[in-house]
A and B are shown apart, each in its own frame.
Chain A
Amino acid sequence: MVAAVLVLTAVFLLTDPFPYRRPYQAARPVPAWAVDTTPVRTPSLRPEIELAGYTYRCSDCHRLFPSPPETVRSLTQHRHIVLKHGINTRCFNCHHLTNRDVFVDDWGREIPWDRPQLLCAKCHGPVYRDWLNRSHGRTEGHWDERFGALRRRKCIECHDPHQPPFPPMPPALAPDTLRMGDQTSTATHPPGDDPLRLGRKGRDHDAGHHPSGNMP
């Protein structure tokens, strides 16, 4: 009897009828963009436009064809530009009326094209203050300038000046780590439905949501 149990044990151990199953998946490829440090926009910071393989300065055309005076009208050129900048609906709030290679400040003076932060600062004072103090905006390189330079990104390297809110983007891979709870999103169980959280039934946080719906 003892020998039979031991033989069965040996057979069980050698044939391994219940093989070990890894509780985790094989490695999933992470797309290169998920670790790319390039900003979402790469503007040239020069008053130039590329047409049919040639690079022109803005003034090359605008010297010959003066723009009509400022009105709210649909564009006849540069028709890919969609202006959604809140109440800032006039081109010449930012672009200089006569010299198209520069921007314009509050007194009609010129702001060079490669210093767009001075233009944005006309309206966005608190953000400009935070940007100057490096609490707003991207920084790359060295926190300690004794070791190397700190690279500051300018406003338009993240924000499209014609549609300035930071754009939505797809999220990178969700985690599939061990011991981090149920591996599915809890989005299907809104916290308001939790009987242990009776005080949380009211969901008035949508009050500030834009009526047109920012996201699907």
Chain B
Amino acid sequence: MNGPDDAGSRRTGPDAAGSAPGLTRRGFLRKGVAAAAGASAVGAALSPLREVDPEDLPTLERFLQRHYKEMTAAEKQAALDRIAREVEERYELRPRVADPPPLDGVEYVYALNITRCIGCRRCVHACVAENNQSRAPEIQYIRVLKMEKGSIDVETSDHHYDPELVPQHESYYMPVQCHQCANPPCVKVCPVEATWQEPDGITVIDYDWCIGCRYCEAACPYWARRFNFAEPAVPADELNTDMSYLSNRPRRKGVMEKCTYCLHRVRRGRMPACVEVCPTGSRKFGNVLDPESEVGYILRHKRVFVFKEDVGTLPRFFYYFDERGSRYHEPVEPVRPGEPA
């Protein structure tokens, strides 16, 4: 490849004696061409770096930011300002980024009436809109499992069902999301303590501290944690600008995220988005330390069960039944909200 192999006679010729030992024209050319090709290969391999947007690189400020629990009030405010600035640069919207503290004497508990759930999946989409989850690839905190009546068999359940109308008579529906366990396996496995339980029972993630090892995703028996495999895509006109540090501020590629019971809403006394959107009223939420709350009534008076009780996670999420099924009746006219009445 380095030309005709006619240099064999020159190697022993009188000219070769004057140059450095071992260095011949042929050898020099061969090594030179190989080095040039190697350099071009390295250059080609590095060429994707041209597409790197400098804005995607971590700023020094973000790199030096301390863990959420170690931040002073001033540092926390600086972090909130930085997040607001980043959102403004990226989406051209002015968000309200806050860090509402946990309320005293409050422990949140969720109850879900699987007698009434019809599997319409509105909770799934209300959650995505409220918490700024990525639309492509899709990230959803709630999975609605369609199950055969008479069983709680997760192995054969289906979350991709798509019939014309729900509910289907042979099925019942069991939405699964983060159970905010009192004994959370996901917190135990985190090697960098980027996730922890707050005093009000909500397990949160510091998205700036997470290294994306996904141990917590593997540890969760409810498959409640989601990983950002790609840069999350949220259309600017659908961005929820009411943000908080620990819940729905925009995430980045390579970090975990999860349901926080809409922490930015519930710590200001509001219901989570999934509770408000449920057309059947199957979803109940409240302070379990308040005996007057609906979750207190449900835990005392209804038939309640805990999903995967045997794994010992002590969830703060309960499923309950009513006295009687609701689907033994004559057919009624369906509601089709997408079409004019």
Contacts and interface: CB of A to CB of B under 8 A. Distances in A.
A180 B269 contact: no
Contacts of B293: 143
Interface in A1-39: 1-4, 6-7, 9-14, 22-28, 30-31, 33-37, 39
B270 A184 contact: no
Interface SS of B by simple majority: loop
Interface stretch (B61-69, B279-287, B308-316): B279-287
Given A166-B118, A194-B156, A210-B329, A143 B40 contact: no
List the 9 shortest-distance A-B pairs measured between CB atoms, nearest first.
A147-B269, A6-B37, A134-B294, A13-B44, A191-B156, A27-B135, A33-B337, A24-B137, A138-B281
Contact of B276 (A11, A140, A204): A140
B297 A10 contact: no
B44 A186 contact: no
Interface in A52-100: 84, 86
Contact of B169 (A9, A22, A127, A209): A209
Interface of B: 1, 30, 33-34, 36-38, 40-41, 43-45, 47, 103, 106, 111, 113, 116, 118-122, 124-126, 128-129, 135-140, 143, 148-151, 153, 156, 158-170, 226-227, 229-230, 233, 235, 266, 268-271, 275-281, 284-287, 293-294, 297-298, 301-302, 320, 322-338
Interface of A: 1-4, 6-7, 9-14, 22-28, 30-31, 33-37, 39-40, 84, 86, 126-127, 130, 133-148, 153, 158, 160, 163, 165-187, 191, 194, 197, 200, 204-206, 208-210, 212-216
A214 B335 contact: no
Contact of A171 (B128, B153, B166, B275): B166
Nearest to A84: B330
B13 to A, nearest CB: 26
A135 B302 contact: yes
11 contacts: A1-B1, A3-B1, A12-B44, A22-B230, A135-B301, A136-B281, A142-B269, A179-B227, A183-B160, A200-B151, A215-B169
A194 to B, nearest CB: 7
Contacts of A175: 124, 138, 140, 143, 159-160
A127 B326 CA distance: 11
B149 A205 contact: yes
A140 B271 contact: yes
A148 B158 CA distance: 39
Contacts of B323: 126
B330 A174 contact: no
B300 to A, nearest CB: 10
A30 B125 contact: yes
B281 A171 contact: no
A169 B281 contact: no
Contacts of B143: 175, 180
Contacts of A25: 136
Given A3-B1, A169-B279, A177-B138, A205 B158 contact: no
Nearest to A36: B337
Nearest to B156: A191
A22 B229 CA distance: 11
B332 A174 contact: no
